[in-house]
Amino acid sequence: MQSKLSKYSLVNGEFFPAASASLGITDLAIQRGYGIFDFFKSINGKFVFIEDHLDRFYFSAAQMHLPLKHSRQELKSLLQALMEKNELLDSGIRITLTGGYAEDGYTIAEPNMIITQQAFTNPTFSSQGLHLMTHPHQRQLAEVKTLDYLMAIRLQPLLKQHDADDVLYHDQGMLRECPRSNFFMVNHQHEVLTSATGILKGVVRKQLLNLKISGLTIVERDFNLNDLQQAQEAFVTSSTKNVMPVSSIDGRHIGNGQPGEVTRALAEAFNKLIA
């Protein structure tokens, strides 16, 4: 049942075999879906963009009033210890913080913190693009990385019906994000656009926005479904996908359905960054 997790997990700073790690049923995640998390990679034993991820993790915890008893340095030591215990250098690491054991089923208690690791190989660029399906939905508390994936998981059967790989949310026509990645489009003016509001601000997205590539302008600006009709290229970014081209949206090809030059250039620049 937990075959993809690496041998050991940490629960509140203690090692447990991943297969037997558990939380009591009064935890607020189980009772009320209340918690936050973050997810990042290790490549060859090095945590990728760890400061950005911990910034966001502490931000999410603060936004949800979840007190963290570990300092940033202690948390890093735990991450390092887990990696050594699992002897796993290329991995995906997830830190989850829940509302804790709530006597009344409603009030935040001392949070439970779970850290898991699983084998993960940093992907190389794939010219096989994603097929996206748009869906109207605005994530609540969008800038906080909460546990809430109700809509995303509920939509999985619909995605299958439409042969789509992932969903692309819009809020009354304003483009937002995919459930686990940020969305970008390239317009006729060769601007690379990514939504400014109503989204989780991804770490790969942030890194792209900081890239200086001559001839390329990357802009945070909201855009809508009409703008999307004019997209020359589109791609998504995330820690698991890096920069991944989008080949179609709602069954309509983006460009000629093959990854475009801008997408390739950004993927290449990003891969250099994490090499």
3-state secondary structure (DSSP) of residue 7: coil
For the segment 132-161, give every residue that binds its own copies (CB under 8 A). 137, 140-141, 146-154, 156-157
Question: How many angstroms separate the CA atoms of 151 and 157, rounded?
Answer: 11
175 touching its own copies, by CB under 8 A: no
Residue from 104, 124, 189, 229 touching its own copies (CB under 8 A): that is: 104
Residue from 6, 8, 35, 135 touching its own copies (CB under 8 A): that is: 35
The dihedrals phi and psi of 160, each to the nearest 5 degrees, come to: -60, -45
64 touching its own copies, by CB under 8 A: yes
42 touching its own copies, by CB under 8 A: no
21 touching its own copies, by CB under 8 A: yes
**Taking the complex as a whole, how short is the minimal distance between the CB of residue 148 and its own copies, in angstroms?**
5
The dihedrals phi and psi of 93, each to the nearest 5 degrees, come to: -120, 130
23 touching its own copies, by CB under 8 A: yes
Question: How many angstroms separate the CA atoms of 129 and 148, rounded?
Answer: 27
Q: How big is the site for its own copies, counted in residues (CB under 8 A)? A: 57
Judged by beta carbon, residue 155 or residue 228, the one nearer its own copies is 155
Burial zone of 126 (CB within 10 Å; 0-12 exposed, 13-18 middle, 19+ buried): middle
19 touching its own copies, by CB under 8 A: yes
* Buried/exposed code over 13-50 (b: 16+ C-beta within 10 A; e: otherwise): eebeebeebebeeebbbbbeebbbbbbbbbeeeebbbb
CA distances from 22 to 6, 19, 38, 198 (A): 15, 9, 19, 33
**Taking the complex as a whole, how short is the minimal distance between the CB of residue 138 and its own copies, in angstroms?**
9
Question: How many angstroms separate the CA atoms of 94 and 37, rounded?
Answer: 7
95 touching its own copies, by CB under 8 A: no
Residue from 114, 130, 164, 228 touching its own copies (CB under 8 A): that is: 114
244 touching its own copies, by CB under 8 A: no
63 touching its own copies, by CB under 8 A: yes
Residues that bind its own copies (CB under 8 A): 1-5, 9, 11, 18-35, 37, 63-65, 94, 96, 98-99, 101, 103-109, 114, 116, 137, 140-141, 146-154, 156-157
